[in-house]
Amino acid sequence: MCGRTACTLAPDEVSRASSYRNRGGRRRQPRWRDGDADKYRPSYNKSPQSMSPVLLSQRHFDKEAPADECVLATMRWGLVPSWFKEKDPNMMQYSTSNCRSENILQKKSYKDPFNKGQRCVILADGFYEWRKEGKDKQPFFIYFPQTEAKTKRQGDPTSSARDDENQETALAAKADDVSSEWTGWKLLTMAGVFDCWTPPDGGEPLYSYSVITVNAAPNIESIHHRMPAILDGDEEVRRWLDFGEVKSRDALKLLESKNILAFHPVSSLVNNSRNNSPKCLQPVDLNSKKEPKPTASSKMMAGWLKSSTPSKRKEPDTCESEEKKAGSQSKSKGGIQEWFQGSKKKPRTT
């Protein structure tokens, strides 16, 4: 299952971090759907019914758009079927935060939108999962392994005027390509299905999604027997979203367990969805309950954040499910920057 995630990047950073390749292999940077960037709130501890960023085909909103052109949208976690009759989506009697891949063609809530091509990619820094230890449960944070960027960072003082000139020439030749590669945190890309519900009495349509789950991969099955269906790489993301070229039956083949994720134990603070701070993500030593020493990976990420020019970030809400504005978060740091500057990460892959 997947019952809690984190997504700490600012809206513009989410856009840069979720660049994709179209059918022609050209990398594009998705734009936010009108008004949706303002609906998204970065958070260290997202729970069902909160609003999260997803990537999907632009054709769902514009019938004239190419099916392989993508857009970012903010959707509610927990699919509300288009046929739901109540006035309040919170009145649903069953949970739709997760959808088992084995049942996606059996249950009407998922089958109808899936067969219509309503597939999306849920974006997150990672997700939390709990391992049972007797009467207690130990939370873990699970994410893509992070590697050092090979490209030169923007604003690097060692860049020469000649480098800048060459870059401008290259950008002019590919004006519609992404101008610079994202060198920050690699977002986790989880397969999802979405639907659009309109209140019976009229009003703004609500877009919502379910995270599709599969059997856990060998390296994390000791934590939990289920995991989100991970889309690994540009081609899998493209095929999942391109419903014009990839039909539903073929898309199902992408829903497999993948033994590619890293993880580390975290504090029980994350158990309460009201707790929303970098401490939710910081690793703990299960023997001493103290933070482990810095690793090369955490130092690399901290160095990137210090050398990069941080963009203006929205402050995460202390209780996002109630959409309350946080007043106690640091204003000099934000999202993943504060996490890595204060974190002592020790990722594990086995």
Give catalytic residues, as residue numbers: 2, 129
**Closest by Cα among 247, 234, 134, 251 to 182:** 234
Question: In degrees rounded to 5, what are phi and psi of residue 307?
Answer: -85, -20
Alpha helix (H) residue ranges in the chain: 11-17, 36-39, 108-115, 161-173, 234-241, 248-251, 296-307, 335-342
32, 197 Cβ separation under 8 angstroms? no
Rg of the chain, C-alpha, whole Å: 20
User: What DSSP element (H or E) covers 138?
Assistant: strand 136-143
Strands 188-197 and 226-228: unpaired
Angle CA 3–241–232, to nearest 5:
65
Residue 246: both structure tokens together: 């990839």
Cα 55 to Cα 2, 33, 58, 119, 139, distances in angstroms: 18, 10, 9, 9, 27
3-state secondary structure of 54: strand
